Amino acid sequence: MGRLMTTDGLTDLQEEILQAVRQFVDREIIPVATELEHKDEYPTEIVEGLKELGIFGLTIPEEYGGLGESLLTYALVVEEIARGWMSVSGVINTHFIVAYLLMQHGTEAQKLKYLPRMATGEVRGAFSMSEPDLGSDVAAVSTKAKQLTDGSYEITGQKMWLTNGATSTLVAVLTKTDEGAESVYRNLTTFLVEKEPGFGETAQGVTIPGKIDKMGYKGVETTEMFLDQHRISADQILGGAPGKGFYQMMDGVEVGRVNVGARAVGIANRAFELAIAYAQQRETFGKKIADHQAILFRLAEMATKVEAANAMVVRAARKKDSGERNDVEAGMAKMLASEYCKEVVEASFRIHGGYGYSKEFEIERLYREAAFMLIGEGTSDIQKMIIGRSLLKDYKITM
């Protein structure tokens, strides 16, 4: 069987990792994904398998017990995992972002404290910016971290849309502090909040109330988090100094957008696989529907969109790996991949006809999952704002 999403220039190790993940997805994820998704059941056995494969430490440097692989390797792994079940890629996404933030911005003490245990999956990360009254407007954060006389802080506020909110034990939380800076963006600080897994009060002053019921993206839990005078040491400020939270989080969002783009590619690729298989089995008017020109053209468009989206994700990942900012490339990749994902999944849905509307067919699940790609890590409109503003800077004319 042919495969989309081929990438030139990979090392032998990268190829080996992808092959191992692909086999794991085909053997351990695809056969059970739809059943677990319909039950909204956490994929415990799958997660344990990912731990054994070393996926939780994929990008963590070898000196901290990880595999030391690139963002590109991670993105390609995510494509494979999302091809099996997008929710599983969500299990590792926020964990990966927190590990990335620690690698890029953490103190050496913070790296030594958390990264080795994150590499094994013993410590599980979650990433928290959003609040009930804000989404993309990060400067509007209202969760407040108040410094006390002994130098520690007290955090109070409400956070929203935490992926892995219950299973995580370490949450990177963006708060508002008062550093006296003129720019509101310099009055934001990221804290590393430790808690126990589970629901209810998982640490003193930290409560995870329960799962948010969602249209799709099931299995992985999405939660709120309430902080009520949660006492935390200044040592738990990411990087050791307050006032840098906005820039740290935006760095994390850039890699997060590559991740969402990769997830969208994985979903789209699976939708294509299902469509081309079904088109060669289903017969109408005396021949396979794949032999009808309308279906053939639709399949050609679907495959082209998957390849194009994959190429954009690879480009964005490689730029970040080079040490450069990739806000524009990540925005382009996320926007294109999510929009193409929606189109490819809908085309597959149409090819399946009435069966596509049945919960017995996998495309029904993909149809619901594709919708989340349109809003995760910022809508297409937000990506267009980022891209457009950068273009005006790059192509500024002088009179």
The answer to whether the beta carbons of residues 191 and 206 sit under 8 Å apart is no
Of the candidates 260, 250, 264, the residue with the CA atom closest to the CA atom of residue 136: 250
The answer to whether the beta carbons of residues 61 and 108 sit under 8 Å apart is no
Q: Could you give the residue ranges of the DSSP H alpha helices within the chain?
A: 12-24, 30-39, 44-53, 71-84, 86-105, 108-120, 245-279, 293-321, 327-352, 362-373, 380-394
For this structure, is 79 an active site residue?
Answer: no
Classify residue 374 by burial, with Cβ atoms within 10 Å: 0-12, 13-18, 19+: middle
Cα 331 versus chain centre, distance: 14
The answer to whether the beta carbons of residues 261 and 337 sit under 8 Å apart is yes
Backbone CA torsion sign across 298, 299, 303, 309: positive
What distances in angstroms separate CA 284 from CA 281, 289, 349, 351, one per listed residue?
A: 10, 6, 17, 12
Classify residue 148 by burial, with Cβ atoms within 10 Å: 0-12, 13-18, 19+: exposed
The answer to whether the beta carbons of residues 235 and 113 sit under 8 Å apart is no
Q: Which of 28, 307, 369, 377 is catalytic?
A: 377
Provide the 10 A C-beta neighbour count for residue 336: 21
Radius of gyration of the chain (CA): 22
The answer to whether the beta carbons of residues 221 and 211 sit under 8 Å apart is yes
Question: And the tokens for 338?
Answer: 């999510």
Question: And the tokens for 346?
Answer: 């809908």
- The residues annotated as belonging to the active site are 377
